[in-house]
Amino acid sequence: MRVSDARASEIQASGQEQATDKVSALVELLRNRSYAEIRQRMYDSAPGSPWWTACRAELDLRNGQQFGEASLAMSRTSDKMRASVQHFEQLADTLQQATKEVADLLRGTQAAARRLEIAVYVTIGITLVQFFNLLFELSRRR
């Protein structure tokens, strides 16, 4: 009984090796096929068959490659976004500084305008006093 069990497992192992070799050969055959063609062949084959297994393996391989490429692209995009955010932060700081400087200049201009306004009022007052003084002197001489 043991000899037949050993022989059966040997035959089964040999069959698995042949199936594995067949699946590997089919995967190589599918390398140059389109994604749609591989999917159609997979759907046309029974689950667990060598063709189905080969199609599944090729699709898994391609999906893994696409996932890796997408991850790399996402990483690059993330790096670019991080650099853009840093640049925008620098621009925001520069804008804030420039805004503070303009606000300070406007405060200074406002203070100067107040001083100028007072100076104009004083000048008008002195002019009126001088004018009335002139009128008084002229009226006194007559």
Better-predicted residue by pLDDT, 111 or 3: 111
> In the chain, what are the domain boundaries?
2-141
* 97 secondary structure, DSSP code: H
Residue 76 has pLDDT above 80, yes or no: yes
Return all residues near 62 (Cβ < 8 A) that are at least 6 apart.
35
pLDDT at 28: 84
Percentage of residues in the chain having pLDDT higher than 90:
56
Tokens of 27: 């995967």
pTM score: 0.52
pLDDT at 45: 87
Q: Could you tell me if 55 and 44 are in contact, meaning their C-beta atoms sit under 8 angstroms apart?
A: no
* Per-residue pLDDT tens digits for 89-119: 999 999 999 999 999 999 999 999 999 999 9
Tokens of 82: 């991080």
Q: Could you tell me if 23 and 61 are in contact, meaning their C-beta atoms sit under 8 angstroms apart?
A: no
Q: How many residues does the chain have?
A: 142
Q: How far is CA 83 from CA 77, 122, 135, in A?
A: 10, 58, 76
Tokens of 125: 């007052």
pLDDT at 32: 86
* Per-residue pLDDT tens digits for 58-75: 899 999 999 999 999 999
Residue 13 has pLDDT above 70, yes or no: no
Helix (H, G, I), strand (E, B) or coil at 2: helix
pLDDT at 24: 82
Q: Could you tell me if 45 and 52 are in contact, meaning their C-beta atoms sit under 8 angstroms apart?
A: yes
CA distance 65 to 31: 13
